[in-house]
Amino acid sequence: MKKNITAIFTLLVSLFLSSPSMAEGEENAAKFSYFTLEPEITTNFITDGRKLGFINVRVDLMVDDPALIQELEYHQPLIRDTIIEVLSQESGVRIKSLSGREAIRKNCFEKVNAILLAETKQKILADLLFTKYLYQ
């Protein structure tokens, strides 16, 4: 019984002593910032037949440096236009499949990064995420 109490006490002490170093590592690792395009983007896409297809996405843009958020705010209309252009040219089959969704996300990321590179002369985005993805 005494051995179990000693082992538990040793474990607790080692956890308390190691936790500040873990917190410092988390602070150093959490350098990313996110910018959400508001309002959400709703547009139509290409379908087979006479019905219109609609897609609604919420887009979060990830940057390495929090100071780059101002650049994203300034270029928000250009970013929205680029994403709408990509989405409206996609087919219903591609929009509805998981692999197509990922390909669309990567395409949006590449095109938005290219547009921002032309405008700002620097790579701004670390990633582009669809945090909401609905289609009809």
The pLDDT tens digits for 64-81 are: 999 999 999 999 999 999
Task: Return the residue matching tokens 């910032």.
Answer: 33
Count helices and strands in the chain by DSSP H and E runs: 5, 4
Report which residue type is found at 8: I
Do 51 and 109 share a domain, yes or no?
yes
Give percent of the chain above pLDDT 70: 78
Q: Rounded distance, CA 32 to CA 101, Å?
A: 24
Strands (E), the chain: 33-36, 41-45, 53-63, 125-135
**Structurally, how many domains does the chain consist of?**
2
Write out the residue range of the structural domain in which residue 67 sits: 33-135
Q: Rounded distance, CA 127 to CA 125, Å?
A: 5
Do 8 and 69 share a domain, yes or no?
no
Mean of pLDDT over the chain: 85
| Helix %, strand %, coil % of the chain (to 5) | 55, 25, 20
Do 58 and 116 share a domain, yes or no?
yes
106 or 10, higher pLDDT: 106
Q: Rounded distance, CA 59 to CA 38, Å?
A: 8
Do 60 and 127 share a domain, yes or no?
yes
Do 25 and 68 share a domain, yes or no?
no
Over residues 17-23, mean pLDDT = 49
pLDDT tens digits, 52-65: 899 999 999 999 99
Q: What is the pTM of this model?
A: 0.76
Are 35 and 60 in contact by the 8 Å Cβ rule? The answer is yes
Report which residue type is found at 126: A
